[in-house]
Amino acid sequence: MALSSSRSWRYNVFLSFHGPDVRSSYLSHLRKQLERNGIITFNDQEIERSQTIKPELTRAIQESRISIVVLSQNYASSSWCLNELVEILDCKETGQIVMTVFYKVNPSDVRKQIGGFGKAFKETCQGKTETEIQSWTKALTYVANIEGEHSLNWVNEADMIEKIATDVSNKLNASLSRDFDGMVGLEDHLGKMKSLLHLENNEAMIIGISGPAGIGKTTIARALFNQLSFSFPLRYFMGNVKGSYRRTDCDEHGLKLRLQEQLLRKILSQKRIKISHLNVIYERLGNQKVLIILDDVDHLEQIIVTTEDQELLQQHGINNVYNVAFPSSEEALGIFCLSAFKQISPPDGFGRLVERAAELCSNLPLGLCVVGSSLLDKSLICISTNGDIQMHKLLQQVGTQEIKRQEPWKRHILIDPYEICDVLQSNTGTGTVMGISFDITEISKVSISKKTFRRMCNLRFLRVYKRRIDKNVEVHIPEEMEFPHGLRLLHWKAYPSKCLPPTFHPEYLVELNMQHSQLEKLWEGTQPLTNLTKMNLSGSGNLKEVPDLSNDKNLKLLDLSGCMSLVEIPSSISNLHKLQELMMMFCINLEVIPEGLNLMSIETVNMVGCLRLRTFTPSFMSFNLRHIFLTRCEKLQSLPDIVSTELITLNANGCQSLQRVPNCFHSTKVALNFTKCFNLSQEARKSIIQKSFLDGRKYVGTRSSNKWARLPGWACLPGNEVPAEFNHRAKGNSLTILPESSDKPLYASAIFKICVVISPKNKVGSNLPKIICLRMNKFVCSCPCYDFQVYNKISMSSVFAHLSTEHLFVFLYVLDQKDHSLGVLSEILFKIESGPNFEITECGAQMWTEETPALETIECGAEETENVDEGKSRRSFWSCLLLCCFIICCIVIFAWGKKTIDFRFSV
C-alpha cells in the first residue's frame, strides 16, 4: 500500500512572473542559476499569452514540485498572471511547495493591493466578474503572507539568486520521497498522528509516540516529518537521542545544554552556537513555527517524542500520545511478504511458512522486515572479517522468544538468570541442555553444586558474565566441581577461583575466555589442546604462570594483557606456528621474552606498557607480520630483525632505553614511530633515516593516480638537525630545489625523500596535529602547478601528542615522470605545514633518480649482500645451463628436419 501523497513530478520548478518586468533581466539570471544547479524548470517561451490560462500551462503548474511566484510592480496588470496564481495556490493544497520573490515591490502593497501595484490591479479588475475579483484578491493576500526573498533587502542581486537556487535544491532534496512506498498500514498511522497534531491551530503541541522496540515508531516519525516539514520554516529530526545522551560526559544540566545547542545549530543552520542557560531555546524559537521530532528518547522533555517508555511521557505531562499498535495478522503477512518476495501476498506453497515466520516475529514490524529481507538475501547469520559468527539482533530476539515458549525441562539453551541460578544450585540440569548464557549482573550470590554439570553431559557452550564491572557478585565454586567433558566454549568473566578444577578436560575446547579472573594458573602439567584457537586471560592480575602450550597446534589468539603478576612466558609458545595475534599489553612485571621464538604466522604483537621488558629477541620469521606495538617499554634496549615485507606499524614511542633497531626494514609502507627514543645509537638512527623505505626506488616513474604517489610510509625519531645526506636543506618550512645540471631536468627525479625538524610550541592547542606537504612546480615559463600530500591529523595524533622536544619526521614524495604536462621544471618548491601546535624549523630533501644505486645492495649490510650475491650466482649458473640445453635442442630439431645429423666437431 503506497502513500497517496507520493507522486511523480515532471518539472522541479514552475516560474510565475510578469514578462516585461523581469524576463530579460532578473528572470534570465534566475533560470540560468537553476539550470546550473541541475533543476528542471518549465519553459513557457512557446506558449502564446492571452486573457485566459492555457490548458498546457495549467498542466505544467500541476506537474511541478515547486512554484516560484515573482511578484513585480506590474504583476497584477496581467489577468494571465493572476489566473496562474490562483491555480498555483490550488495546487498548494495538494502538496505543491510555493516560494515567493518580491522584486522591487513592497509585500504590504501586494497584501493590501495598494500603491502602484494596487493601481495596476484595479485596472485589471475593470469589466471582470465579482467572482474573479474575489479569487484574485484572496490569492494576492495569501501569497503576500508567504515568507520569501525581498530584492530591496539585498545589495547584490546575484547573491539573492544564488540563495534562492540553494533553497530550491534543499527543498527538492528534502521533499517527500518514495522511501516509504509499500509500507503496509503506514497511511493509517499518519492520518491518526495528524489528527492529534491539530495542524489547523497555531498552538504549541507536544506529541508522544509510544510502543515497544521494532513496532515502527521511528518509521512513522520519519514519514510524518517528510510530509509536514515543508509547512514549517524551521524543522529538525534528531535521531537516536538516547545514544547521544549516553555518549556525553557531563552532568544533567550540561547534558541538556549540549542537546539544546545541537538543536539550535541544526534548526538555525549555524555551526557555532553556545548557550549558557536552558531558556535560550525558548527565547530563540518561542515565536517561530517549528517542527522538532526527537527519536528514541529516555530522559528529556521534547516536542514530538518517540519512546518505549510510556511512564516517561506521563511524568512530563505529555497527554497527547499515539500508542502504536501491533499490525493485524493480515497486515503482518503483507509486511513480511513485501520484504521477502516483493509482493503483498505469499507465492504458492509458501503460505504456511509465512504464517509461521510472522508468528515467530510476534507480528513485530521491524522483525517481519528484517527476517523477510534476510530470507531474501540470507544475511541473518554471517561470519565477520575476524572469523566471528554474527547473528542479527532480531534473530536473537526471535530465538529468545522461542526458548521462553518451551517447557523448562525441554530447553536446549538456558538464558534466564534466575532459572540458571536455580539449576546450578539445586543440581537440576539435564542432558537436554546444550548451552548456558548466564548474566549474573542482577544476582547477588551464587553457590554452585559440585555435581551441577555432571548431568549436563551435552553442554557445549558455557558463558558466565556481568554487564557491569563494578557490580560485586559472590560466586562460590567447589574445588571438586566437574566441567562437562565435551565443552567447546568456556567464557567465564571474573572467574573466582585460583585454578580450574583438576578434572577439567580441555581437549575439545575451541575458545577459552577468562577475562578479569582470579586465576593464578590454569592447570597443572600439559593438557591436550588440539582444538583451541583462542585463549583470552586479559585482566587476570593474579596470573603468575601460563600453561604449557606445546600441544596446541591451532591457537591463533593469545591475549595476556593486564596480567600484571606475570614475570615470564613459557618457551612452549615457540611451537604456536598458527598464532596470529600475541597481546601482552601492560604486563608490567614481564622482563624477558624467550629466545628462539619462531612464530611463522604472527601478524600482530602488542606489548604496550611492559615497563620492565629488557630484551625482545624473538626471530619473527613470519612474512605476514603487520603490526608491532612497544609503546612505553621503558627498559627495552634492542629490537629483533624483521623479515616481513608486509609490516605496516612499528610503534616504539617512549622506549627511552632503546639503542638497537633492525638493520633493514623490508617494507616501503611501514610507519616507524621512535618518538621519545632518546638513546638510539648512531647506527640505529642511520638505519631508521636511510633504510626505512628500502625499495621505494622501484616506484620511480609511477603515475600520480597510482597508490604509491602518496606513500603512507614515514619515520619519526628525536633530532634537531636535518642529516647531511639530505643535500638540499633550508631553514624554516619551505625548500626550493633547482636542477643539478642542464642534462638532468627535474622531471627525471621522480622520488624525493624529505626530512623536517618538528619543534613543539610552548602553548599546545587543542587541535590534533597533522603534516601537509605542498609542492609547487615552476615551468620554464614560470607557470605554477600545485600538488599536495597529507599525513592526516587522525594518524598523526598519537605520534606527535605530548612531544616536548624536537623530532625528525621523514617521508617520501613521488613526482610523476611520465606526465608530460609537467614539462621541464626550472624549480620545485616544497612547503610543509604542521598545524597550530608545532612549527617546522628546518627541512631537507634527497632526490632518488634512476642513477641512484640500488638501495637493497648498499643498505642491508654485508651479510645480506653476500646472500644476495650467492643467490645471483646460483641463478646465473642454472640460467646458463638451461640456455645451453635450449640451443642444443633447437640445433637437433633443425638438423632432424634436414634429415642430416652430424655429431663431428672440428677444431
Catalytic residues: 84
Helix/strand/coil for 792: coil
CA distances from 254 to 234, 279, 526 (A): 25, 14, 56
Give dist(CA 576, CA 552) in Å, integer.
Answer: 7
CA distances from 736 to 534, 720, 724, 728, 778 (A): 55, 21, 17, 8, 10
Closest CA to 300 of 204, 430, 206, 174: 206
Q: To the nearest 10°, report the CA torsion of 338, 344, 350, 355.
A: 80
Amino acid present at 482: E
Enumerate residues 6+ apart whose C-beta is below 8 A from 291. 225, 228, 229, 231, 232, 234, 235, 236, 304
β strands within 630-761, DSSP E:
649-651, 671-673, 714-718, 728-731, 734-737, 751-760
DSSP 153-197: G-S-HHHHHHHHHHHHHHHHHTS--STTTT-TTHHHHHHHHHHHH
Enumerate residues 6+ apart whose C-beta is below 8 A from 743. none
Cell of 177: 520521497
Cβ–Cβ < 8 Å for 787, 828? no
Give dist(CA 829, CA 754) in Å, integer.
Answer: 12
The number of helices, as runs of H, and strands, as runs of E, in the chain is 23, 34
Distance in angstroms between the alpha carbons of the first and the last residue of the chain: 99
DSSP 41: B
- Starting at the edge strand that comes first in sequence, how are the strands of the sheet with 97-102 ordered? 11-16, 64-71, 97-102, 149-150
Enumerate residues 6+ apart whose C-beta is below 8 A from 750. 699, 700, 701, 702, 814, 815, 816, 817, 848, 849
Cβ–Cβ < 8 Å for 491, 463? yes
Enumerate residues 6+ apart whose C-beta is below 8 A from 890. none
In sequence order, the β-bridge partners of residue 14 are 67
Helix/strand/coil for 694: coil
Helix spans in 661-816 (H): 682-690, 793-800
Enumerate residues 6+ apart whose C-beta is below 8 A from 201. none
Phi-psi region of 861 (alpha: psi -120 to 50; beta: other; left: phi over 0): left
Q: Output b/e per residue, 42-58; b: 16+ Cβ within 10 A.
A: bebeeeeeeeebeeebe
